[in-house]
């Protein structure tokens, strides 16, 4: 019994000594500043809404995006994507039909479009 108590006491002393050797507040603050400067941690405050989202330059104009939205709305693709249980086979068929249509339009002279 005394042996078990000694082992428990020694392990508690060792654990408390390990915890006492933690970093000071200044060291933690310095590490935080270093990590932020290196880009390892995103700053989160009222000025930065979504730090994890990087802005990406669009390759399409607003008019092209609106036209694409209207095509998706007209073909039923938008409703299918927004439904609770989209049928992937139907969605793929719509996308294939749209690709074929785009290929046909690409082959026509500009005056015919």
Query: From its phi and psi, is residue 53 left (phi > 0), alpha (psi between -120 and 50) or beta?
Result: beta
Range of the domain at 68: 62-107
Residue 3 lies in a domain: no
DSSP assignment string, 27-48: HHHHHHHHHHHTTSS---BTTB
Q: What is the mean pLDDT of residues 64-76?
A: 89
Residue 17 lies in a domain: no
**Residue 41: half-sphere exposure toward Cβ, Cα within 13 Å:** 11
Task: Note the pLDDT of residue 99.
Answer: 83
Rounded to two decimals, what is the model's pTM? 0.35
Residue 18 lies in a domain: no
Residue 23 lies in a domain: no
Q: pLDDT tens, 18-58?
A: 555 688 899 999 998 888 888 787 666 655 555 555 667 78
Q: Residue written as tokens 């693709």? A: 77
Sequence-ordered strand ranges (E) for 1-113:
none
Q: How many domains, in total, are found in the chain?
A: 1
């Amino acid at each position: 019994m005394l042996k078990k108590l000694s082992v428990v006491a020694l392990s508690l002393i060792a654990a408390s000594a390990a915890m006492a050797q933690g970093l000071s507040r200044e060291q933690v603050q310095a590490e935080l500043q270093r990590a932020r400067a290196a880009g390892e941690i995103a700053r989160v405050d009222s000025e930065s809404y979504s730090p994890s989202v990087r802005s990406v330059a669009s390759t399409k104009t607003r008019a092209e995006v609106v036209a694409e939205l209207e095509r998706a709305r007209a073909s039923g693709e938008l409703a299918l994507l927004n439904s609770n249980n989209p049928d992937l086979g139907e969605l793929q068929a719509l996308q294939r039909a749209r690709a074929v249509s785009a290929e046909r339009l690409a082959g026509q002279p500009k005056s015919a479009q």
